[in-house]
Amino acid sequence: MSDSRRLVIRFQQLTEVPDWVWDRTDLEFLCVSDNRLTGVSTRIANLTNLRALDIAHNAIEAVPDALGALPNLTDYLYLSDNRLTAFPEAVTRLATLRYLGLTDNQIPSVPDSLAGLASLVELRLYNNGLSALPNSLGALSHLRELHLSNNRLTSLPSSIGRLGELRVLDLRNNQVTEIPESIGDLRNLLYLDLRANAITALPDSIGDLPRIQKLDLRWTPVSLSTPSPWIAGLEQRGCVVLR
- Write the pLDDT tens digit of every residue in 29-53: 999 999 999 999 999 999 999 999 9
pLDDT digit string (tens) for 223-233?
Answer: 888 888 999 99
Q: How many CB atoms lie within 10 A of CB 171?
A: 24
State the SS3 of 204-233. Answer: HHHHHCCCCCEEECCCCHHHHCCCCHHHHH
Output the pLDDT for position 227.
84
Share of the chain above pLDDT 90, in %: 96
pTM, rounded to two decimals? 0.97
Output the pLDDT for position 2: 53
Q: pLDDT tier at 1 (50, 70, 90 boundaries)?
A: very low
Q: Which domains does the chain have, with CATH numbers?
A: 1-87 (3.80.10.10), 108-243 (3.80.10.10)
- Which H/E stretch holds residue 235? helix 229-236
What does the angle CA 82 – CA 110 – CA 169 come to, to the nearest 5 degrees? 90
Are 188 and 165 in contact, with CB atoms under 8 Å apart? yes
Strand partners for 54: 31, 78
Identify the pLDDT of residue 225: 84
